[in-house]
């Protein structure tokens, strides 16, 4: 297959994936309505989805752990990222501005920043937990010690 054939294949694959992302966006809007979170809160939600994708990737890496969960979570990540861009575009089209200027004096912005930081830490802990479980499962001596606990 030449370069032209590979481009056609990539275009078909890309179109299929983007159709799935669009379907997930429609599902999100049907479930929760239009969401206009602040950038900090939106990033916290995105990081939570990235954490779920990371967890699925770790589980897929275990022997016999292959599943479609990793792919499903990546579609969620993409859909949340698209929602973030949509929210940004809506904010920028507001008559009195939007974006960072509209949130400078928002009293809840510090809470949202802290929530984002907590979500990052939780994602780190989940990642370390998954790595620890993988390490324990690979070390039979450690596995027996953990069972005794």
pLDDT tens readout for residues 48-102: 999 999 999 988 887 777 778 999 999 999 999 999 998 888 887 754 334 455 5
Rounded to whole angstroms, the Cα distance separating 111 from 103 reads: 13
The ranges assigned to domains in the chain are 3-148
The overall pTM is greater than 0.85: no
Phi, psi of 98 (to 5 degrees): 160, -160
Task: Enter the tokens of residue 79.
Answer: 């859909």
- pLDDT value for 21: 94
Decide if 116 contacts 65 (C-beta within 8 A).
no
pLDDT at 142: 64
| CA separation for the pair 19, 63 (Å, rounded) | 31
Q: How far apart are CA 54 and CA 59, in angstroms?
A: 9
Q: What is the DSSP letter of 105?
A: T
């Amino acid at each position: 297959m030449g370069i032209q054939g590979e481009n056609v294949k990539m275009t078909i694959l890309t179109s299929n994936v983007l159709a799935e992302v669009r379907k997930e966006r429609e599902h999100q809007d049907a479930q929760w309505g239009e969401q206009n979170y602040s950038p900090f809160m939106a990033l916290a939600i995105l990081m939570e989805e990235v954490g779920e994708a990371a967890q699925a990737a770790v589980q897929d890496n275990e022997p016999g752990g292959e599943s479609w969960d990793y792919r499903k979570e990546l579609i969620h990540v993409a859909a949340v990222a698209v929602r973030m861009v949509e929210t940004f575009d809506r904010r920028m089209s507001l008559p009195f501005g939007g974006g960072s200027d509209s949130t400078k004096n928002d009293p809840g912005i510090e809470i949202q920043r802290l929530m984002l930081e907590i979500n990052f830490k939780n994602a780190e802990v989940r990642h370390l937990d998954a790595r620890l479980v993988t390490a324990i499962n690979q070390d039979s001596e450690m596995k027996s010690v953990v069972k005794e606990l």
